[in-house]
Amino acid sequence: MQVRQCDFCRMPYQSSGKRICSDCFLKLDLDFFKVRDYLYEHDRAGIEEVHEATGVSRKSILYLLKEERLIVGDEKGGSCGFLTCESCKRPINTGRLCAGCKNQVLSAIQESVGTVNRPKKLTKEMIEESLDGVAKLQLR
């Protein structure tokens, strides 16, 4: 156990590897279910609409986007500039990095570890599987 600063509320807490404290973890889980349930009934609602209808804060919605639990924008990856890559500032629709920067980080990790076996290319099915349980939050 090590003391860290919570990514969400900025309070120090005893971390077991997570980036956020257990209070925020529970709160974000509840927020996620509220947003997900709302999106089941109202497909492609905007962030403002979801915020007002569910009472979930914009900060929570943004954090869930960064955690890749929500996606914003259309299938082509348009994001209306709500989220940007933390490295190159290109608009993205989920997570913290764009696909290009993510690949760079991944290959840098692989090189530093010296892995011989490169992972297989992700298939469409694998990507869809990994997105299971992710609600799609569409910005208008």
Chain residues binding Zn ion by CB under 5 A are: 6, 8-9, 21, 24, 85, 87-88, 98, 101
Least Å distance, CB 117 to Zn ion, is 26
Least Å distance, CB 90 to Zn ion, is 5
Whose Cβ is closer to Zn ion: residue 4's or residue 51's? 4
Residues 6+ apart with CB under 8 A from 119: none
Q: How far apart are CA 111 and CA 96, in angstroms?
A: 22
Q: How far apart are CA 112 and CA 68, in angstroms?
A: 26
Whose Cβ is closer to Zn ion: residue 84's or residue 110's? 84
**Cα–Cα distances in Å, from 27 out to 34, 43, 99?**
11, 23, 29
Least Å distance, CB 9 to Zn ion, is 3
Whose Cβ is closer to Zn ion: residue 24's or residue 83's? 24
